[in-house]
Chain A
Amino acid sequence: MNMDIIKKEIREILSEYTDLDVSRIGDQDLLFDDWAMTSVVIVQVFVTIQEKYGISMQDEVNMQAPVSIQYIAEIVMEKINRKEEPVLN
């Protein structure tokens, strides 16, 4: 799983909850400040990400964070990697 694939999948998820053309949204664009997205859009995205990747996004919810596609992708990548870390006995 690489970052490009994760970002592409996050855009697809985002497109389910907004009428905006997600292809116009830059990776670093702030979804709240630059694109006036509401908290309910982001929360739906986070819930969908949880279900899709089998990770918890609960601790990452913060409606004042600089949420961008890049920001979300980095969280997802870090959690997937942590999930896949072998347990050493």
Chain B
Amino acid sequence: MQTKISGMGMYLPEQIYTSEEVEEKAGFSRLGAKKGLVRMLTGCETRHYAAEDEWCSDIAAKAGMEAIRDAGMDPQDIDAVIFGAITRDFAEPATVNRVIDILGIKDCYGFDIFNACNAFIGGIDLADSLIKTGKAEHVLVTCGEVLSRWTKFDYTDKEELLMRAPVSLSVGDGGGAFVISGTTDEDDSRIIDTKFRSIANLWEHGVIWGGGVVYPKSSDRLFVPGTVKALTDQHKEVATEFVKPMLEKNHWSVDDVDCFLPTQIANWVVKNARIALNAREDQFYEVIKTTGNVGACNIALTTCMAKEAGKIGQGSRVAMVGGAAGMNIGAILARL
């Protein structure tokens, strides 16, 4: 049994903010900090923010419905749903339950997966396993990020602002989803390989301390920290020591990849990884300029937007590459 991506969908909330607007909101002028830092450091010019009454599950359900339609299916065809994101509606129950309820799926099961920015691709890997072991036929993997609500804006100290905000203000909200389905040997479309690794000695970098048992009552610690240097320092090694061997194992040259679909924290990080891989500029698709860093949804959004732009389509060979706090690395090779 093989699996394939049989449908994909995305959703971006209506409100758009420029980097200058969020810098103003965070107090750049008030604290005497130079504006323009978010765009300069990350390449992010705009990002979408969820409406006040939009939850992660709303966004994930909208993206999920788009993916189901793209697959030519009905929600009732889905027998498992995986919600993979950084943000969630609440501590309990799993956010996926509300997603399933919104979609009106009557006979399925679901669960959430959390692994920072790698939650979505981790969900794809799990869906692949569920199908291959006969536990499901069509799995909806969906993500709905509302990182704007975990963004610190109430800075009172300029030094802290400058340490965190140039990265943390680049985050945005959005949803993306894939339907993963079983396929036959005759079908060219398939998930070729998946590979993941944890570099757990880096766990202390990029921690969102709130929301867990370490600081159970401190909502003021529930924000994206913006301190990711130790993680971004790994990106060239990820390209050469993780992605390249994976391509070689599957008899793909770098040139064989029609499109690399990376998680996106800053455009210089993607550029360095591309150079380390010896790949061409046109082999990469980036969305951080208009969507910002949408956490676990980055790869889903990048894939959907690349398809919308005509960059990829039926038969395209793609390499999804994720790096996440933890630190966790993951890659998925697929032919669409």
Contact = CB atoms under 8 A, between A and B. Distances in A.
Given A57-B40, A58-B40, A61-B40, A43 B268 contact: no
Contacts of B163: 38, 40
Contacts of B166: 39-40, 43
B253 interface: no
Interface residues of A, number: 15
Interface string A56-69: 01100111100000
Given A40-B166, A47-B34, A47-B36, A61 B272 contact: no
Contact of A39 (B35, B39, B43, B229): B229
A contacts with B: majority SS: helix
Nearest to A56: B40
A62 to B, nearest CB: 5
B271 A47 contact: no
B232 interface: yes
B158 to A, nearest CB: 11
Nearest to A41: B162
Contacts of B199: none
Interface of A: 38-40, 43-44, 46-48, 50, 57-58, 61-64
23 contacts: A40-B37, A40-B41, A40-B162, A40-B166, A43-B37, A43-B40, A44-B34, A44-B37, A44-B162, A47-B34, A47-B35, A47-B36, A48-B34, A58-B39, A58-B43, A61-B41, A61-B266, A61-B267, A61-B268, A62-B268, A62-B272, A63-B229, A64-B233
